[in-house]
A and B are shown apart, each in its own frame.
Chain A
Amino acid sequence: MAAAAVQGGRSGGSGGCSGAGGASNCGTGSGRSGLLDKRQGLTVLPRLIVNSWPQVICPPQPPKVLELQWKIDDKPVKIDKWDGSAVKNSLDDSAKKVLLEKYKYVENFGLIDGRLTICTISCFFAIVALIWDYMHPFPESKPVLALCVISYFVMMGILTIYTSYKEKSIFLVAHRKDPTGMDPDDIWQLSSSLKRFDDKYTLKLTFISGRTKQQREAEFTKSIAKFFDHSGTLVMDAYEPEISRLHDSLAIERKIK
């Protein structure tokens, strides 16, 4: 009886949950739950519950027919190679990806959040003006309208100053946490530029040491033709070593000091 019970516990198929519908690889390690075999009796019940726990956590997958995955992080990046801004954006995003995934830095959203806040406040003034004018037809709403319009254009001015002087062309601020936990974080900043109708892409990496507050930079300027193939697909095998080289050149200097 005991032998049969053990065998019953292991008899449920190997690997994969047999949840409702599609197959998935959730809980590959311990997903050995099979169909509950009523002949086994109460002794095997606790073990089967333990084994089928990952299946319960893993939600049933939607049927394959309607599966339209929204996120396509794994697909190779393909853009229109003649569109300058698309090229720059894809190069920036890939550089960001390399720094965050390969070196496991943590992104700091401070700059981006500042810009989003300014834009949100501007839109808020516009919405207030719209609603106020709707509720109190024109001649009475003049002072409020004047105030909203002036505030909106002031916010636009602030936004322009912010993007030109504070954000410059920085698109990534990443922190490297100190492994000992005592020193403040080291900061890595990425900024890039690609002139209109030009093919030379400049990527600048800035390193600000947390402890000494010293700043070091390295940059490279390469033609975008080196990173894209003729159909517009970004070839990560050609791009990633450049980023790594840039990063290591700054990191090595740090070790020497």
Chain B
Amino acid sequence: MLSLDFLDDVRRMNKRQLYYQVLNFGMIVSSALMIWKGLMVITGSESPIVVVLSMEPAFHRGDLLFLTNRVEDPIRVGEIVVFRIEGREIPIVHRVLKIHEKQNGHIKFLTKGDNNAVDDRGLYKQGQHWLEKKDVVGRARGFVPYIGIVTILMNDYPKFKYAVLFLLGLFVLVHRE
């Protein structure tokens, strides 16, 4: 017979205390979620923190980038932008090479990765030669090195991610504060 001693605390709880444990777990998740959404609102970008895959030597694989996407800031040559190509899910972090700008502020720009030999036209959609403002996820404003490696690991090994999340969730639910 399994002796689940670590569940002893839970078994002694009445309904209200059990509900509070669940709420505790919910509040931790909600706090993380609200901080993320809050950052989205403040920076104006839909993914304010991204993990760089490769832009050596400026950024290395696993760096965390902090983005903003304010309408007032114009995109200029030499800036590092994060954009998403239509039909692809993963955003790309590259530098702006050329910009064509109209009088009304409408722009078209070309990008190239620092570590690549050619510009990104090979990556764009079939027939697309320029990127527009609507493809931009955000502009890089700051970065934290190396921290993103955990995210990359968890994405490469999804079982690891689920195991970590499950254990964390179990710990919060069973442990009384």
For A159, the closest partner residue in chain B by CB is B27
Tell me, in angstroms, the Cα distance from A130 to B9 when the chains sit together: 32
Tell me, in angstroms, the Cα distance from A89 to B66 when the chains sit together: 42
Q: Which residues of A have CB within 8 Å of B12?
A: 71-73, 77, 93
Whether A103 is near chain B, meaning CB under 8 Å from some CB there, is: no
A112-B16, A116-B16 as given contacts; A152 in contact with B23, CB under 8 Å:
no
For A65, the closest partner residue in chain B by CB is B1
A85-B176, A85-B177, A122-B30 as given contacts; A142 in contact with B41, CB under 8 Å:
yes
Tally the A-B contacts, defined by beta carbons under 8 Å. Answer: 75
Taken residue by residue from 6 to 35, chain B's Cβ proximity to chain A (1 for < 8 Å, 0 otherwise) reads as 001101100010011001101101110110
Whether B38 is near chain A, meaning CB under 8 Å from some CB there, is: yes
Tell me, in angstroms, the Cα distance from A2 to B176 when the chains sit together: 65
Whether B70 is near chain A, meaning CB under 8 Å from some CB there, is: no
Task: Contact check, A116 vs B9: say whether CB atoms are below 8 A apart.
Answer: no
For A77, the closest partner residue in chain B by CB is B12
Q: Name the one of A78, A93, A126 contacting B34, with C-beta atoms under 8 angstroms.
A: A126
Q: Which residues of B have CB within 8 Å of A137?
A: 46
Shortest C-beta distance, B76 to chain A (Å), equals: 22
Q: Which of B11, B16, B19, B27 has the most CB of A within 10 A?
A: B27
Whether B53 is near chain A, meaning CB under 8 Å from some CB there, is: no
Task: Contact check, A109 vs B9: say whether CB atoms are below 8 A apart.
Answer: no
Task: Contact check, B46 vs A139: say whether CB atoms are below 8 A apart.
Answer: yes
A85-B177, A123-B30 as given contacts; A149 in contact with B41, CB under 8 Å:
yes
Task: Contact check, B27 vs A86: say whether CB atoms are below 8 A apart.
Answer: no
For A119, the closest partner residue in chain B by CB is B23
A72-B12, A78-B8, A86-B176 as given contacts; A153 in contact with B46, CB under 8 Å:
no
Q: Which of A78, A119, A148 has the most CB of B within 10 A?
A: A119
Residues of A within 8 A of B (CB): 68, 70-73, 75, 77-79, 85-86, 89, 93, 109, 112-113, 115-116, 119-120, 122-123, 125-127, 129-130, 133, 137-139, 142, 145-146, 148-149, 152-153, 156
3 A-B pairs with least C-beta separation: A126-B30, A138-B46, A149-B38
Task: Apart from A78-B5, A120-B23, list 12 A-B contacts with CB within 8 A.
Answer: A72-B11, A73-B12, A86-B176, A93-B12, A115-B20, A123-B23, A126-B26, A126-B30, A129-B34, A133-B37, A142-B41, A156-B31
